[in-house]
Structure 1
Amino acid sequence: MKFYNSIGPNPRVVKMFMAERGISVPFEEVDIMGAANRQAPYLSKNPAGQLPCLELDDGAVLSEITAICEYLDEKEGQSSLIGKTPEERAETRMWTRRVDLGICEPLANGFRFSEGLQMFQERMRCVPEAADGLKAIAQDKIAWLDKQMEGKDYIAGKRMTLADILLFCFLDFGTQVGQPLKPENKNIMAWYERMKARPSAEASA
């Protein structure tokens, strides 16, 4: 297998997941600052032009971070990061979807349409006037999640999952691009420090 890597929170999710699982695959760096991901030969691997992607031994290519992580988890033997039972897997997927749609997507697009506009305006449809609203939507969902995490160590309770890895990588990215964590979200702040202290957080940075 080969992992096509770049800077950014999306590749970091998979790298942190692999670090938690002890999975090691060869990396190939793709220069997204130079738009190499929007040109040949990368587009022959992933026609969506996004990072990361995982090339399998038979030449097939997987993209989308949750799909890559689930594939690796199944390939290596199912773990609690996705779930060992149908109930655990359903819970992980539920929270991962909530985190992805409610927080990660508006946070990322809020960045792309403002601080990242110069980089993204020639690569995708950008709506600069929507940036502040998208950032606010992400913060609203973070505040909602903060209440859901009362008394919990992780989003799903005692079990750390892909949902935690996904959220951590995007919130950590947000702190670097003008979307800091709010101290009043005390449960999220405590969770963030627990995640940041994990060796996988440093290994994937």
Structure 2
Amino acid sequence: MRIYDFEGLPNPARVRIALAEKGITDKVEFITINVPNGEHRKPEFLTKNPTAAIPVLELDDGTTISECTAITEYLDHMFDGISLTGKTPKQRAIIHMMQRRGERNLLDAAVDYFHHATPGLGPELETYQNREWGEKQRERALSGMRYFNTVLSAQPYIAGDSFSMADITVFAGLAFADFAKIDIPLDLKNLRVWREHIAKRPSIAG
């Protein structure tokens, strides 16, 4: 298997954490796609993912799978170990629901704020910006933080009693929020404690 990514960006980080949680990092060849230099928009990469997004998982038979959720689903069901996407129908539904909330209301919001309301990756790559909309996404990211702080007042993990794909997404969202200079409000103590706890997992702490 091959993973096309750029280490340090939030979505590649999500898949790298999933690989580490499953204990299969050594089964993957990583191929760097230099996003800051626009390599993800070149024809040779677009044949693997027409949306020009990383990461992309390429199987040995040539099949390519993009989108972090789809990649994690494949890895989770292909290999033994910790379940990241749930074992029962109820678990799977709740994990997917919460991971989507983390994606939409935190990670994607922080990313959109960065691309629209800051210089982002520079004028060559940021060909369209809407600052007003970007600022709205900052508000959405902060609202998402408040929501997850409330969730974590009643349970230890984002989707319930066990670590899952949803925790990976929210953790990556907070990491990118840091990068975009969207600070976690000081009063969100549950979210802060959860983050400190998750950061100690071997898949993240290294």
Q: How would you bin the TM-score normalised by the shorter chain? A: over 0.9
1:74-85 mapped onto 2 (5 Å cutoff): 74-77=77-80, 79-85=82-88
2:168 aligned partner: 165
What SS does structure 2 have at the residue aligned with 1:4?
strand
What SS does structure 2 have at the residue aligned with 1:33?
helix
What SS does structure 2 have at the residue aligned with 1:16?
helix
2:85 maps to amino acid: I
1:23-62 mapped onto 2 (5 Å cutoff): 23-24=24-25, 25-62=28-65
2:203 aligned partner: 200
Mapped partners of 1:95, 1:157: distance in 2: 10
What SS does structure 1 have at the residue aligned with 2:122?
helix
Matched, 1:109 2:109: no
2:14 maps to amino acid: V
**Cα drift, residue 202 of structure 1:** 2.9
What SS does structure 1 have at the residue aligned with 2:60?
coil
1:13-162 mapped onto 2 (5 Å cutoff): 13-24=14-25, 25-77=28-80, 79-119=82-122, 122=125, 125-162=128-165
Mapped partners of 2:18, 2:3: distance in 1: 13
What SS does structure 2 have at the residue aligned with 1:100?
helix
1:18 maps to amino acid: L
What SS does structure 2 have at the residue aligned with 1:119?
coil
What SS does structure 1 have at the residue aligned with 2:4?
strand
Mapped partners of 2:155, 2:112: distance in 1: 29
Mapped partners of 2:31, 2:4: distance in 1: 5
Question: Number of residues paired by the alignment?
Answer: 203
- State the TM-score, normalizing by the size of structure 2: 0.92
What SS does structure 1 have at the residue aligned with 2:108?
helix
Runs of 4+ off more than 4 Å: none
What SS does structure 2 have at the residue aligned with 1:45?
coil
Mapped partners of 1:137, 1:46: distance in 2: 28
- State the TM-score, normalizing by the size of structure 1: 0.92
What SS does structure 1 have at the residue aligned with 2:3?
strand
In structure 2, the CA distance between the partners of 1:120 and 1:190, relative to structure 1 (3 Å rule), is farther
Mapped partners of 1:164, 1:196: distance in 2: 11
Q: 5+ unaligned residues in a row in structure 1: which ranges?
A: none
1:45-99: CA deviations, max 9, x gaps?
Answer: 1111111100011101000001000111011147431111111111111111111
What SS does structure 1 have at the residue aligned with 2:129?
coil
**Cα drift, residue 118 of structure 1:** 4.4
2:9 aligned partner: 8
What SS does structure 1 have at the residue aligned with 2:35?
coil
Mapped partners of 2:123, 2:86: distance in 1: 36
Mapped partners of 1:80, 1:149: distance in 2: 20
1:65 maps to amino acid: C
Asked if structure 2 preserves the Cα contact closer than 8 Å seen for 1:73 and 1:82, the reply is: yes
